[in-house]
Amino acid sequence: MFSIMKKWFWYDWILVATRTIWLFIIASAGFVDSSLIAGPLWIVISFALVVYLVPFIVRYRKEAWYLAVEVTATGSFYLYIAYTAPELLWSFVLLVITIGLSSSRTTYVWTGILCGIVFPVMNGWIADRLPFEFIFSCSLGFAIGFAFNILIQSHQQARIIQEQKQLLEQHIKRIEELTLLEERSRMSHELHDTIGHSLTSLIVGVESLRSSVPHSQIEKIDSLVGIAQHSMEDIRKHLHQLSQVPLSHSLSESLRQLTEEFMKSTGITVKFRKIGSETLVMQKINFCLHRCLQESLTNAVRYGQASMISVQLLFDSQQIRLQIEDNGIGMEETQFGFELNGMKERIELLHGTLSMHSGPGQGTFVICNIPLLTEPVHDAIRLLIADDQVIITDSLKQILDQHVDFNVIGTAGNGREALEHCERSRPDIVLMDFRMQGIDGLETLLEIKQRWPDMKVVFMTTFEDSLQAASALERGAEGYMLKSIHPREMKEALKLIYNGGTWIDQSVATRVFEEMKRQREQLEKIGSSQENYPYGLTKREMEILEHLSGGLRYKSIAAKLFLSEGTIRNYCSILYSKLNVNNREEAIELARTENIV
């Protein structure tokens, strides 16, 4: 009862005051002058209490029935009064005013006819008096009440417009602030990715020239590399500061500040409570929960007509939970609007959940859960980066670690370290340089494909080499890209490869296919003019197989046959395919077992 009264406005109090004055007049009439009431006084007072209380209770329990109950109770009471106390019929006007005050544009016709004509005529007939005075006074009372109702409706609409204006102003202000912060964060990451990666490519390119410049110019090479590295560190520091502009000192302070500003602008009571020991969260989690609370507060007032909202922020070792509960009118079916759908998508990107529970007259309850990623999530792509340039591995790791879709589980400086990492952690994708000290990229690829056939391998090189790319793809590599690739394109390529696709840098792809076609035509031409060899081998492939059996490496075979090492590798790839073997050792063993050489 008291919770209902807290929501009353000045016109609600006027309505109650008018009815209370009417009840006082009826109750006191019998005591002031007992001759006014012919029947038992206790019946009149009891009947008056029923007329006073029942419509009032129905109004706040089943509002659609209120007017029908009010008109029926009031009309019945005054038919009784016309018989027992006709001198009190004038007080009927007070209740008629309250009925006119409660009527709407859809009900005023039938309530006006009953209260202004029907009941006054019946009262005059029962009291044996002319009804014209009753009709005039009751019709005038109803008109006054209905006019006052129109005034109240205008006041309510003005109040709603003002509230909507305040909400909209606050909404726009917070959107501008958050959009600015998000744009600054996005720009910082974009600049970091592009400038940082360009400087990385520049450093690697300059380093590759070291062996070809005179010894007297080595100092200049070191100076250029040092300047580039120093510039990269400076850029990283500045962009890191730019991207880390906080909404407040902490997540709880940010949300508390939002609730306080909301209370000041709307007058709605918002209770904020933090539970648990607060932990430092990523900026994107801060943004996400801030937006979710903002939309929930706005919806609670705009659609739920809430007067009180409770906000709880819970921290535990596994997750962060934000709960928003209001005492509004609720809704029959829980549905996500445009804004909350956007929040739901944001939370799901952080592997969290957004749920909303509501019912008619039960308010709305919104729960946002975001897990604290203390360990890699199951559906992140697990990457191993192998490159003998430490600055390359560090740069790639920093770029990829910024995205929840990727988890860099380790780095390796050569092929042997890469194989050890693969043995320990079984990554989804190995992102590897082509040329490394010790075991190079191709040999590492062959070993990986032999031991872990489902593991995907992507080569990253500094310069374009179509022979190199063709050789890698023929040996089972799933991707070939340049280190100068744009970070966004690299991430999309890795996702494509993870889902079973193959990716080749566009600048290399055309030449790779042309080179493979040229070599195939050349091999077919040579094979068609020579005698047949076992397994469909050509004369050139037989020569290479003999050299392999003699213990020669690819480089030595290339020198003997006056071909490039890449061409020899391509021949060997086709040779292994025809012999249905996986590597050099198996090919040699098969050749000796079946006396092919």
| 147 domain-assigned | yes
Q: Are residues 386 and 320 in the same domain?
A: no
CA 237/CA 444 separation, integer angstroms: 36
The pLDDT tens digits along the chain (597 residues) read: 555 565 666 767 888 888 888 888 888 887 777 777 777 778 888 888 888 888 878 877 787 888 888 888 888 888 888 888 888 888 888 888 888 888 888 888 898 888 888 888 998 888 888 888 888 988 998 998 888 888 888 877 777 777 767 766 666 666 666 666 666 666 665 665 566 656 666 766 666 666 677 877 777 777 877 777 677 666 656 655 554 444 445 788 888 888 888 888 777 889 999 988 887 766 667 778 888 888 888 788 777 778 889 999 998 877 889 999 998 887 765 554 545 666 777 787 677 888 888 878 788 888 898 887 444 444 688 999 998 888 788 878 888 877 778 889 999 988 889 999 999 889 999 999 887 877 888 889 988 988 888 899 999 887 667 777 877 887 888 888 887 777 777 888 888 888 777 788 766 766 666 666 666 666 556 555 445 678 878 888 888 888 888 888 888 888 777 677 777 877 887 888 788 887 888 888 888 888 887
Residue 269 main-chain phi, psi, to 5 deg:
-75, 125
| 348 domain-assigned | yes
**Domain final position from 461, 478, 513:** 513
* Cα-trace Rg, the chain: 42
* Structural domain harbouring 300: 248-371
Q: Are residues 306 and 336 in the same domain?
A: yes
Q: Are residues 437 and 534 in the same domain?
A: no
Residue 273 main-chain phi, psi, to 5 deg:
-140, 135
Query: What pLDDT is stored for residue 376 in this prediction?
Result: 40
Does the model's pTM come out above 0.85? Answer: no
Q: Are residues 310 and 401 in the same domain?
A: no
- Quickly count: other Cβ atoms within 10 Å of residue 484's Cβ: 19
Q: Are residues 19 and 141 in the same domain?
A: yes
Euclidean distance between the first and final Cα of the chain, in Å? 102
CA 302/CA 275 separation, integer angstroms: 28
The number of folded domains in the chain is 4
- Quickly count: other Cβ atoms within 10 Å of residue 387's Cβ: 26
285: tokens are 């989690």
Query: What pLDDT is stored for residue 338 in this prediction?
Result: 47
- Quickly count: other Cβ atoms within 10 Å of residue 318's Cβ: 10
Q: Are residues 300 and 407 in the same domain?
A: no
Q: Kindly state the helix (H) or strand (E) to which residue 358 belongs, with its residue range.
A: strand 353-358
Q: Which residue has the tokens 């306080």?
A: 260
Q: Are residues 349 and 463 in the same domain?
A: no
| 203 domain-assigned | no
CA 408/CA 396 separation, integer angstroms: 9
Q: Residue 329: give its domain's CATH number.
A: 3.30.565.10
Q: Please check whether residue 597 is in contact with residue 546, taking contact to mean a CB–CB distance below 8 angstroms.
A: yes
Query: What pLDDT is stored for residue 383 in this prediction?
Result: 93
Q: Kindly state the helix (H) or strand (E) to which residue 407 belongs, with its residue range.
A: strand 406-412
Strand 353-358 relative to strand 456-461, pairing: unpaired
CA distances from 208 to 178, 202, 229, 467 (A): 44, 10, 15, 19
**Burial status of residue 150 (CB atoms within 10 A of its CB: 0-12, 13-18, 19 or more):** exposed
Q: Residue 461: give its domain's CATH number.
A: 3.40.50.2300
| 194 domain-assigned | no
82: tokens are 């016309």
**Domain final position from 320, 343, 371:** 371
281: tokens are 């969260």
Q: Are residues 6 and 148 in the same domain?
A: yes
- Provide CB contacts within 8 A for 316, sequence distance 6+: 276
| 325 domain-assigned | yes
Q: Are residues 16 and 145 in the same domain?
A: yes
Q: Kindly state the helix (H) or strand (E) to which residue 321 belongs, with its residue range.
A: strand 319-326
CA 406/CA 592 separation, integer angstroms: 46
CA 146/CA 109 separation, integer angstroms: 11
Query: What pLDDT is stored for residue 507 in this prediction?
Result: 65
| 493 domain-assigned | yes
Q: Which residue has the tokens 């609600």?
A: 12
